[in-house]
Amino acid sequence: MATSTIRRNFTPHIFLTTIGSGRRLLSFQKNHLIFAQGEASDGLFFIQAGKVQLSVVSEGGKEATLGILGEDDFFGEGGLAGQLVRMSSATAMTDCVLLHIKKRAMMLAMSREPQLSATFVKYLLKRNIRYQDDLVDQLFNSSEKRLARILLLMAHFGKEGVVAEVEVPKLSQETLAEMVGTTRSRVSFFMNKFRKLGFIDYDNGHHLRVHSSLLSVVLNDDGGTGPPGMVTPNGKKTLEPPSAPGGPPEEDRAHRPPLPKPPASTE
């Protein structure tokens, strides 16, 4: 009877925000390494507060940023699928509060509690969709649009309860260039452009303020904030982006293939 009562009262939120068997709360200061690529996998993490940066280093020493995670995100779950070592590194971008869950505790809880299992699977599906969107973004969108999308994702625009302006940790232009897949000079150009157009404000200490109006860059079918010289709603003209040495012009990027026409009827 007691077991039945416990299961009826089980909620994933309580499990993911409290300590217990196989679960402990950990605090990390800004810039502190949470785990390093190649370390033994010993469970997964759930972010209760703060932001975490995931990165990977190639054998040649080149580093790339995989993503920026925030509150209510999981990371380090590869061990649940049989990965024995960490495939990436995780670093606290801000002061963080994390719940560390051992593999055995998580597997046992998911086998007993369908609500937790459904919550975790839903999160993994959403992240898989995000990765697919990232790939499409790289293939079909200009670096200006890709930068705008990353800033909006960092600010969690689109989630319920998000206001018109959101403050996010300020990333270096080198890190943004890695995430966008372009040069630091182009990131610098577009960040200055967004600021002049009133889409962002990064003169506020160590934080970047992102405005919901930046969404217009992503929705603009012209590939960004419009062709050079176009007058924006606030009366300002768009600027000419710098050329990327050795790279193809933005207009030469891949385009979506047209949908095939249905075969003609033989009747």
pLDDT in tens, 109-124: 999 999 999 999 999 9
pLDDT on residue 162: 57
- What's the mean per-residue pLDDT of the chain? 81
* Tokens 């577009």, located at residue: 190
Above 90 in pLDDT, residue 134? no
Above 90 in pLDDT, residue 53? yes
Above 60 in pLDDT, residue 4? no
Task: Report the DSSP beta bridge partners of residue 91.
Answer: 33, 53
Between CA 181 and CA 174 the distance in angstroms is 10
8 Å CB contact between 37 and 87: yes
Q: Is 96 helix (H, G, I), strand (E, B) or coil?
A: strand
Tens-place pLDDT, residues 171-203:
888 888 888 888 999 999 999 999 999 999 876
- Mean pLDDT for 28-54 is 95
Q: Which domains, from first to last, does the chain contain?
A: 2-134 (2.60.120.10), 141-242 (1.10.10.10)
